[in-house]
Amino acid sequence: MYANIANCPRCGKIFAKGLRDVCHNCVKDIEKEYERCVEYLRENRGATIQEVSDATDVSVRQITKFIREGRISLIDTPNLGYPCESCGELIRQGNICDDCRRKFTKQAQRLQQEIESRHKREHQPPKRGTGYEIKSDSD
């Protein structure tokens, strides 16, 4: 059986894909980045994600991944949040902020109403009396 060969999305090198989606060298680099972030946050609990990124040279995207994986906790870091996937507003849970969630919910409700309305129009029986009617002069 052949190994699942892929290019590492982080460095581009070819590697045998197994439990991880990046090559062995990148796994080591990611672990070093994680350690730098954790060490910085031990001393700077009030830091924002951008401050952590600037101080550790770890991308906001990677720090966000650490948070989502549960490796970096937001409990003792009151100013640490990560970007909403829609608008970039800093959030502390989920994938999108409350404003975007409300906006998407309204859009979904509006689309659902349009679909239901269109469905009703297309599936109504023909109306009676829509044909021509001949009236006599005596009416």
| 86-119 tens-digit pLDDT | 999 999 999 999 999 999 999 999 999 999 888 8
User: Residue 136: its pLDDT value, please?
Assistant: 62
CA dist., res. 47 & res. 40, Å (int): 9
CA separation, residue 104 to residues 70, 76, 81, 116 (Å): 26, 31, 21, 18
| 3-class SS of residue 86 | coil
Residue 49 within a domain? yes
- DSSP sequence for 30-81: HHHHHHHHHHHHHH-TT--HHHHHHHHT--HHHHHHHHHTTSS-STT-TT--
Residue 112 within a domain? yes
Name the residue range of residue 35's domain: 24-121
Residue 12 within a domain? no
Residue 39 within a domain? yes
Q: pLDDT digits over 56-76, tens only?
A: 999 999 999 999 999 999 998
Residue 33 within a domain? yes
User: Residue 19: its pLDDT value, please?
Assistant: 83
Number of domains the chain is built from: 1
Better-predicted residue by pLDDT, 17 or 33:
33
Q: pLDDT digits over 22-51, tens only?
A: 999 999 999 999 999 999 999 999 999 999
